[in-house]
Structure 1
Amino acid sequence: MFRRDSYKTTGESKILRVAPDEKKHYYIVLDETIFYPKGGGQPSDKGIMAGAGFKLQVKKVMQSGSVIVHWGKLVEGTLENDSFSKVNCEIDWDSRFRMMRRHSTAHLLDHCLSKAMRKDVDASDSWLGDPCYVAYHGPPPSPEVLSQAEEPENRMMSEGRTVGMEVVSMEEATRRFQNETRILQGLPRLEEVRLVTVDGCRSISCGGDAS
């Protein structure tokens, strides 16, 4: 659910598995989820999961292969391993929206820095939590180049540029980026690829939340 609609804040899911941890904490696997798992430099969502007779404060969400695991503290009631339990989930929207805005800002920084340096920049690391940063391969740019990147990025943010998202087949993504070797090499090896476009910038493959 979280990949289909970044603005979806609530959803109903079914518990597939429950595993107890220490001090009233539990690991829970759902059939589908609105919670974004930690990955790609973006912290996971937080929020509330509530079912018949219990409420769980979701603190972390992790992904291992195709399995997404929620970890949190039981704040009300009791929780049993019931494979047929329906749960209502609600994300912490303030936290999600903050991550979305930071994610979009990071994409804009890539675009504006590439324009200022007249070559594609290659991020080596990033973190959208606190403190938020993006690190790049190669020597640091000069203050003049940074200024040339900062001005258009601030302008585009103040203009409220539209952020679009579409899911395309790997074949279609390969066709679109056939002349851009670096992007092709970075595409995930999946049947479908999620592409994000900030108005005025080229599309990129992205698995996180952007707004």
Structure 2
Amino acid sequence: MAGLEEMVKGYAPTDLLYLRDSYMKACDCEVVCFKKDGKNAYVLARGTIFHPKSGGQPGDVGYIKGESGELEVKKVMGVWTDDGYYVIHYGKGSVGSGKANFQIDWETRYLYMKRHTAAHLLDHCLAEATGTKTLTLGSWLGDPAYLDYAGSMPSEDQIRMAERLENDYIHQGLPVSFSVISASDATRLGAPNEERLPKSAKELRLVRIGDFEWIPCGGTHVNNTKEIGHFTVKGVNKIEGGYRIYFDVDKAIG
């Protein structure tokens, strides 16, 4: 569908329930706009537990079930406008306006949460192992999961040291905390990767593992590093301007 910005005009920004409680697997939300696209449809609701594809995290999948039908959510997209941030669900089926039950595929979401926290932790562990501050170029938390970094590729010993440090911190059970600050404060404090965040954002959500540095992030995370289970570096490749580290975590829900 062309012009998702047109679809959200006149509506309030989406209440991002997935940031308030990333462990919420289902909830009732009000569908405020529904647009058919052949056998598929676009859905906008007042709030959602579905995380859109953004920041290297794949969008959630699942179902939206209303009184008049059911939508199998295949894709979730975020739209920034001058009014704020909107989340649009796209998938197969039909669901009308009004109250509906939103259900995410929890097994997949929880894996993304563990990978996301592990990725933030790797930034710190890699810096500790190399003695050099890391600069993240990009990431992907789907399959295969990876992180891209700027600069020269670390040695094999440094990679393995970072892996050992990561698992040490995981097993320590470090808490993961969250905070929200104004975008101007983030700029003043020199928040990592702040330049990659949407310029229209008035507030930024920060994530912190243990007592490590705060990092701007709009993704979902576990509450404690122990939930990650075990971290494994799967491989390291050179890329333009840097290197890519493939990794994974325990896939068990626990």
Output the TM-score relative to the length of structure 2. Answer: 0.73
State the alpha-carbon separation in 2 of the partners of residues 79 and 64 from structure 1. 21
SS at match of 2:18: coil
- The match for 2:31 among 7, 10, 15 is 15
Task: Give the partner amino acid of 1:36.
Answer: H
State the alpha-carbon separation in 2 of the partners of residues 87 and 181 from structure 1. 38
Match of 2:66 in 1: 51
Match of 1:164 in 2: 177
- Unaligned residue ranges in structure 2 (runs of 5+): 1-16, 223-254
State the alpha-carbon separation in 2 of the partners of residues 91 and 49 from structure 1. 9
Task: Give the partner amino acid of 1:30.
Answer: A
SS at match of 2:166: helix
Deviation, 1:186, is 5.0
Deviation, 1:53, is 2.7
SS at match of 1:35: coil
Match of 2:122 in 1: 109
In the alignment, does 2:34 pair up with 1:6? no
Alpha-carbon spacing, 1:117–1:68, altered in 2? closer, same or farther (3 Å): same
Task: Give the partner amino acid of 2:76.
Answer: V
RMSD value, Cα: 1.9
| Deviation sequence 1:59-113 (CA, Å, 0-9, x none) | 1101121221101122xxx544x4xx11111111111110000000000100000
Output the TM-score relative to the length of structure 1. Answer: 0.87
Q: Name the % identity.
A: 39
| Deviation sequence 1:151-191 (CA, Å, 0-9, x none) | 1101111233211112223354455x2xx475554565422
Match of 1:194 in 2: 205
Match of 2:42 in 1: 27
Deviation, 1:57, is 1.4
SS at match of 1:90: strand
State the alpha-carbon separation in 2 of the partners of residues 14 and 181 from structure 1. 35
Match of 2:246 in 1: none
Alpha-carbon spacing, 1:51–1:126, altered in 2? closer, same or farther (3 Å): same
Count of matched residue positions in the alignment of Structure 1 and Structure 2: 201
Alpha-carbon spacing, 1:19–1:120, altered in 2? closer, same or farther (3 Å): same
